[in-house]
C-alpha cells in the first residue's frame, strides 16, 4: 500500500526506575489500534511512523524489502486531528488515478464473504511503469475502514512478471489465461479474465480482510486478539487482578541461543543489565550453576517508575525480553499503581505496549511469536 499512498527466570522481576518519571502526555501513543492478519512466519519488511502518529507496516514471507517483494501484506493507520464526519465511498476508492505509476491498470470492488461490512474492499491491478519493478504485474487488494478519529487500511499484494502472473491466475483462481492483451503497442488487462479470477483471488486472501481487527483503547475497546484470557495464557495471566496488570507482551523463545550465550550477550551491555549479566555469568560457571535458571527473562515496569514518554525507555524495557526471546522467551509487563491509573492513562499505557510489540517486529520477532494481552481494569 505504500506504493499507492505517496530464560532466565529472575525471582524478583527487574524494574527500570527513572527519577520522577514523566506521565505520558495525551498524544504520546495513538490509542486507535489495528491488528493486521499476518501469515505464519512472515516478518516485517517496512515499518514507519509519521506526523500525528501515522503508521505504516508491511510484511513478507522472508522480510525482504518492499521493493523486491513477491507476496506482501500491510496496514496503515492515519489518525485525524479532527473527527472524520464522512466515510470515503467505494467509488472514490476505486477511482484513484493509477496512471502516474501504471502503464496499464484496472480496478474493481468486491466485498469478501464474512468480512465486516465496515471494511470497503477495492482490487487494483497494475503493470508497473517505472523503477526496479517496471514491466511487472502488481495486484493490491486493499480494504479501508473509517472510525471517528482514524482511517485504517489493510491490504494483500502480489507482484511478478507477466509469465508469473499467468501462473498465479492458474494456481490461485483456476483461470488458465494470460490476463494481459496487446493494445496500442503496449499491454492492457483482459477485463473478462480479471472478472473471472478476482473472486477466487479474494477468497484465497480472505484472512487479510476477515481477521483484521480495529479498536480504540481510549473508548475502552480491546481488540479480540488482545483480550484476556487467551487459549494459552502467558505468565502472570492467572494473577492479573491481584497484580493490577495493565498489559503484557510475551515473546516466544526461538531457542537459537544457549542460556550461556544469552548471558554472555547480557554481560556486554552497559549499566545494571550488564552488571547483572556478569554476575549471572559467574554463577553460571559454578558447579551446578546452570540448574538454577530456567532461561526466561521477565521485565516489569510500573506507571510511576518508568518514563513512558521517551523512546529510550521503550528500548530499555524491551532489552531483557528480546534477549530472552532468543532462548526460551521473555515478557514485558506493565503494572498499575495505587491508586490505579485513570481510563485515559491506562489506554495510553496499553498503546505504549502495542508500540513496543511493533518495535519487536524490527528485531525480527515475527508477529506469530508475540502474544499481547491487554487487561481491563479490576472490577
Cell of 29: 501513543
Degrees, nearest 5: CA angle 252-359-343: 95
User: What pLDDT is stored for residue 28 in this prediction?
Assistant: 63
Using DSSP bridges, classify how beta strands 245-252 and 150-160 pair: parallel, antiparallel or unpaired: unpaired
Q: Write down how long the chain is.
A: 379
Distance CA 140, CA 2 (A): 11
From residue 196, alpha-carbon distances to 107, 143, 202 in Å are: 14, 20, 11
Low-confidence ranges of the chain (pLDDT < 70): 1-28, 51-52, 81-97, 229-241, 285-295
Task: Give the Cβ contact number of residue 95 at 10 Å.
Answer: 11
- Ramachandran angles phi, psi of 188, nearest 5°: -140, 155
Q: Cβ contacts of residue 108 below 8 Å, gap of 6+?
A: 94, 122, 123, 194, 195, 198
Residues of the chain with CATH 3.40.1000: 37-211
CB 329 within 8 A of CB 262: no
For residue 258 the three cell numbers come to 544457549
Local structure of 294: helix, strand or coil:
coil
**The pLDDT value given to residue 15:** 32
Residue 271, Ramachandran bin (φ over 0: left; ψ between -120 and 50: alpha; else beta): left
**58 alpha-carbon distance from chain centroid:** 8
What is the pTM (predicted TM-score) of this model?
Answer: 0.84
Q: What CATH number labels 37-211? A: 3.40.1000
* Strand stretches in 133-289, DSSP E: 137-147, 150-160, 180-183, 186-189, 213-216, 245-252
The pLDDT value recorded for residue 13 is 30
Amino acid at each position: 500500500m505504500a506504493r499507492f499512498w505517496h530464560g532466565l527466570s529472575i525471582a524478583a522481576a527487574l524494574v527500570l526506575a527513572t527519577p520522577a518519571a514523566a506521565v505520558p502526555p495525551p498524544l504520546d501513543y495513538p490509542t486507535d489500534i489495528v491488528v493486521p492478519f499476518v501469515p505464519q512466519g512472515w516478518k516485517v519488511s517496512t515499518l514507519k511512523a509519521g506526523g500525528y502518529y501515522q503508521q505504516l507496516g508491511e510484511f513478507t514471507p522472508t522480510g525482504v524489502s518492499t521493493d523486491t517483494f513477491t507476496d506482501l501484506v500491510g496496514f496503515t493507520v492515519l489518525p485525524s486531528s479532527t473527527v472524520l464526519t464522512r466515510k470515503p465511498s467505494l467509488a472514490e476508492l476505486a477511482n484513484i488515478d493509477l496512471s502516474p505509476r501504471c502503464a496499464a491498470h484496472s480496478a474493481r470492488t468486491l466485498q469478501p464473504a464474512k468480512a465486516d461490512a465496515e471494511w470497503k474492499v477495492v482490487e487494483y491491478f497494475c503493470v508497473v511503469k517505472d523503477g526496479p519493478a517496471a514491466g511487472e504485474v502488481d495486484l493490491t487488494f486493499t480494504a479501508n475502514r473509517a472510525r471517528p478519529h482514524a482511517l485504517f487500511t489493510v491490504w494483500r499484494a502480489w507482484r511478478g512478471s507477466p509469465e508469473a502472473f499467468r501462473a498465479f491466475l492458474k494456481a490461485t483462481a483456476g483461470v488458465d489465461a494470460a490476463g494481459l492483451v496487446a493494445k496500442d503497442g503496449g499491454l492492457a488487462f483482459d477485463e473478462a479474465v480479471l472478472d473471472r479470477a478476482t473472486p477466487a483471488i479474494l477468497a484465497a486472501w480472505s484472512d487479510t480482510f476477515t481477521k483484521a481487527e480495529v479498536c480504540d483503547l481510549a473508548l475502552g475497546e480491546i481488540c479480540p486478539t488482545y483480550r484476556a484470557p487467551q487459549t494459552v495464557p502467558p505468565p502472570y495471566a492467572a494473577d492479573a487482578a491481584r497484580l493490577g496488570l495493565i498489559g503484557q507482551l510475551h515473546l516466544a523463545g526461538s531457542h537459537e541461543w544457549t542460556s550461556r550465550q544469552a548471558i554472555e550477550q547480557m554481560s556486554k551491555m552497559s549499566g545494571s543489565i550488564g552488571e547483572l549479566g556478569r554476575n549471572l555469568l559467574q554463577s553460571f560457571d559454578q558447579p551446578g550453576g546452570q540448574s538454577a535458571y530456567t532461561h526466561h527473562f521477565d521485565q516489569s515496569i510500573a506507571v510511576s517508575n518508568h518514563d513512558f514518554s521517551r523512546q529510550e525507555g521503550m528500548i530499555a524495557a524491551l532489552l531483557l525480553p528480546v534477549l530472552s526471546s532468543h532462548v526460551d522467551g521473555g515478557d514485558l509487563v506493565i503494572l498499575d499503581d495505587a491508586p490505579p491509573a485513570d481510563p485515559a492513562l491506562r489506554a495510553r499505557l496499553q498503546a505504549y505496549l502495542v508500540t513496543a510489540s511493533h518495535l519487536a517486529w524490527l528485531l525480527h520477532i515475527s508477529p506469530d511469536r508475540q502474544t499481547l494481552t491487554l487487561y481491563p481494569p479490576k472490577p
